[in-house]
Amino acid sequence: MNTSRAVNIEDLRRAARRRLPRAVFDYIDGGADREHTLAHNCRAYDDIIFRPRCAVAVPNYEMRTTVLGTEIAMPIILAPVGSSRMFYPRGEEVAANVAGSVGTIYTLSTLSGCLLEDVKKATTGPAWYQLYLIGGHDVARATIERARLAGYSALVVTIDTPVAGMRERDLRNGMKELVTRNPWKMLPFVMQFAVKPQWLAGFFSDGGMMKFPNVVLPGEGPMLYADVGTALEASVVTWADLKWIRHAWQGPIVVKGVHIGDDARRAIDAGANAIVVSNHGGRQLDDVHATIRALPEVVAAARGQVEVLLDGGIRRGGDVAKALCLGARAVLIGRAYAYGLGAAGEAGVRRAVEILRADLLRTIKLLGCPSTSALDRSYVEVPAEWEARVK
Ligand code: FNR
């Protein structure tokens, strides 16, 4: 794909759909159950109206900010996206490399197809490691030590995954059967791959990712793709675990998956340094509020004690601006760059970030706001019932 032709993220999404087998595209694109939250995450931004200040001359617009003390070129961070190596050869390394070159943070998922050491080496920028407690505390302790030695600067602990969400598209596409390596079970689902020879050639030349090299289970070696569902169920993260992680990892901790003010307080009590208001991109519990709607309650509960970030539904620079107006320090993007990766590898991720960066810059100019960090509530109008939730 000629990525310069992509005008917006939706264009990259369409290009990803063309290049990827249906099962892989749907794995990125889909959500849980009726996909209500997936849709709300995007649509809720429509309910926020800008209040621009016109006729304002600004000599230098500024998008740089800091998150947990690290300076980044724009308030947009790459979220952890598991199995990125399935979208494009060495996918996690490719995405990390782009993040570094544009001056932002890459977050590596526990469920990565590439070694965490290789991913860190692939980027010149800062990187965070997202931790699932798969395999228990001993396995986590070893991974935390590897992440520390490799140079990851923060640990992102995802707390909304006590079980994998019900992704109906994955079931229909045979994602379960496809990872069994049993030819008879796989057979009914292989046609969707046969019609995407370009993807197939890349997948096999890259070794045909079927395992997660950063989850090393004692006596078993790297965890296989087929075992993820069961492993996640056995790895629920509790507040007590978070306190344990606080002791095991001396650096900053980001708690990802907070929906309500009470959990923000619990995260702070357990030692979090930052919180991500996230519903996993609508892939876990369906029918929860869109994250942008949940944000004001969490910001109020955090009382300025920790940095509050947000992810979910970011497809335009205007969405980023709205999240910052409502108190987010920065946002994380998931699908926006995953579509780019699936569509065209490095060029696609770069284009996704560039689209959002240029959009955000244009938005602050049109708002008459000198910098992204100066965005606040005075630049937006939100529906009255959103305000009512914040006590
Ligand atoms: C994710 N997300 C995710 N989160 C996490 O903590 N660990 C993970 O391994 C994954 N894996 C993953 C795979 C795919 C394909 C997607 C799309 C998402 C969730 C991700 O970090 C983030 O919360 C959402 O993607 C944000 O929503 P948007 O930007 O995709 O709308």
Q: CB 205: neighbour CB atoms within 10 A?
A: 9
d(CA 367, ligand 1 centre) in Å:
30
Pull the structure tokens for residue 138: 């001993």
**Cα–Cα distance list, 120 to 17, 210, 308 (Å):** 29, 21, 25
pLDDT band, residue 391 (cuts 50/70/90): low
Q: What does the pLDDT look like over 14-72, one tens digit per residue?
A: 999 999 999 999 999 999 999 999 999 999 999 999 999 999 988 899 999 999 999 99
Residue 179, pLDDT score: 83
In angstroms and rounded to an integer, the radius of gyration of the C-alpha atoms of the chain is 20
- Among this protein's residues, is 280 annotated catalytic? yes
Amino acid code (one letter) for 238:
T
Extents of the domains making up the chain: 3-390
CATH H superfamily, domain 3-390: Aldolase class I (3.20.20.70)
Q: Contact, 303 vs 267, CB < 8 A?
A: no
Closest CA to 260 of 294, 221, 226: 294
Residue 325, pLDDT score: 98
Residue 231, pLDDT score: 86
Q: Which of 13, 116, 283 to mutate to test the pocket of ligand 1 (most atoms within 8 A of CB)?
A: 283
For residue 221, pLDDT beyond 90: no
End-to-end CA distance of the chain: 49
CA atoms of 7 and 336, how far apart (whole Å): 13
Amino acid code (one letter) for 114:
C
Q: Which of 92, 256, 280, 316 to mutate to test the pocket of ligand 1 (most atoms within 8 A of CB)?
A: 280
DSSP E strand boundaries for 225-273: 253-258
